[in-house]
Structure formats: C-alpha cells, structure tokens
C-alpha cells in the first residue's frame, strides 16, 4: 500500500461505511491515484495483487484506474471474503456493484472487473476458486446496457460449455446497474 494511505471510515456512493472499511478502501496522493477511492484487490490467499481506484468527482477520467497498469484481477471478493448463499455466487461487472450488494446483505456478489475481462481462455482460472468452495449455481447480474446484456449471454454460454454449473441470467432495467438497485 502507498505510504500515505488514508483509510476510509465513511459511506461511499451508497456503500455503507462498514463495507467500505472491511474492504480496505483508502485515499492516496501517490501512484497517480489522487482524487480517487482505492481498493486493494486480493487473490484467494488474501495477497494484494493490485489496486483499483474510482474517481471521487465526476470530472476525472478515466472512471476506473488499475494499478499497476495492465494488472489482471482475479474475480473479487475472493472465496475467502464472501458468504455463499445456497451454493451460489452472483457475478456483476464492477467492484462498486459488488460492494453495493454486499452493503445490502447480498454477500455472494463477486466483481468480474468488466465485460471484456472474461474469455474462454481464462474462465476456468477465474471460476475455479469458487468451484472449489462448492458453488453449483452462478447468477449473472450485468449492467442493463448493450455491453452488459451481450456479456451476460456470452458468459452464460462459456460457463455452460466448460462446466456443469447452473447459470441463471438476471436483469436490471435499461441503463441501470446493480449499484442503482434500491
């Protein structure tokens, strides 16, 4: 973590303070991550593999930054940090979606870090830690835009072709995302 990491103890974008705190959110002026809320992304062994930062105010672009650049994140939170519900996980596009759902008590929500992050080549690598914990159902809750709808269809197809997992596609309204649900 950066030496000036200032850990957050307040709510952020509808995510309760206790969830923000439990996922280690902080602010920093280093690493090119100033003006952002930063989350350490951990693998299944709880080792930090990178940082994902989201802007605090809407004038900063891009909306998300990964550090180091080009890092490939595992699906997050890892099995060590979720509570499966009925042997299932809910895959969502973004980290904010997953954390928002955790804040609502949906403790099996997992971020895939974008619709383009899943491929036939990496699906089993990303999914295996969850399979090892006994997951037998995957719910897909992608954003309600064209990219999210297309990704849901494609990811469902990949999972059913490569595993025996039951896949259910859930939907939000057009232009909505899981973090906008009430």
**pLDDT one-digit tens code per residue, 111-151:** 999 989 999 999 999 999 999 999 999 999 999 999 999 99
The rounded distance, in Å, linking the Cα atoms of 164 and 161 is 8
The Cβ of residue 12 has, within 10 Å, a number of other Cβ atoms equal to 18
Confidence band of 84 (pLDDT split at 50, 70, 90): confident
Q: Give the model confidence (pLDDT) of 7-55 as tens digits.
A: 999 999 889 999 999 999 999 999 999 999 999 999 989 999 999 999 9
Q: Residues of 101-136 as b/e, b for ≥16 C-beta within 10 angstroms?
A: bbbbebbbbbbbbebeebeeeebeebbebbeeeebe
Main-chain phi, psi angles of 174, to 5 degrees: -55, 130
For the record, the structure tokens of 153 come out as 């269809």
Q: Would you give the DSSP letter of residue 57?
A: S
- Rounded to whole angstroms, the Cα distance separating 159 from 177 reads 22
Q: Would you list the DSSP string of 59-79?
A: TSSSSEEEESTT--PPSBS-G
pTM: 0.94
Mean pLDDT of the chain: 93
3/181: higher pLDDT: 3
- Is 90:141 a contact under the CB 8 Å cutoff? yes
Residue 139 in tokens: 């719910």
Take residue 32 and report the two structure tokens written for it. Answer: 């090119």
Is the peptide bond preceding residue 34 cis, with omega within 30 degrees of 0? no
Q: What is the pLDDT of residue 63?
A: 86
């Amino acid at each position: 973590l950066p030496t000036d990491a200032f850990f957050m103890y307040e709510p952020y974008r509808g995510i309760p303070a206790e969830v923000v705190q439990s996922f280690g959110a902080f602010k920093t002026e280093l690493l090119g991550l100033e003006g952002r809320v930063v989350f350490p992304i951990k693998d299944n062994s709880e080792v930090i593999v990178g940082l994902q930062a989201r802007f605090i105010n809407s004038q900063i672009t891009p909306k998300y930054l990964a550090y180091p650049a080009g890092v490939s994140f595992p699906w997050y939170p890892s099995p060590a940090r979720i509570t499966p519900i009925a042997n299932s996980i809910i895959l969502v596009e973004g980290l904010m979606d997953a954390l928002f759902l955790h804040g609502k008590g949906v403790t099996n929500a997992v971020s895939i870090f974008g619709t383009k992050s899943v491929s036939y080549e990496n699906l089993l690598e990303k999914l295996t830690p969850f399979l090892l914990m006994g997951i037998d159902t995957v719910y897909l809750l992608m954003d309600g835009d064209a990219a999210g709808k297309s990704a849901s269809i494609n990811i469902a197809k990949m999972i059913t072709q490569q595993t025996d997992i039951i896949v259910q596609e859930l939907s939000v309204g057009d232009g909505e995302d899981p973090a906008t649900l009430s």
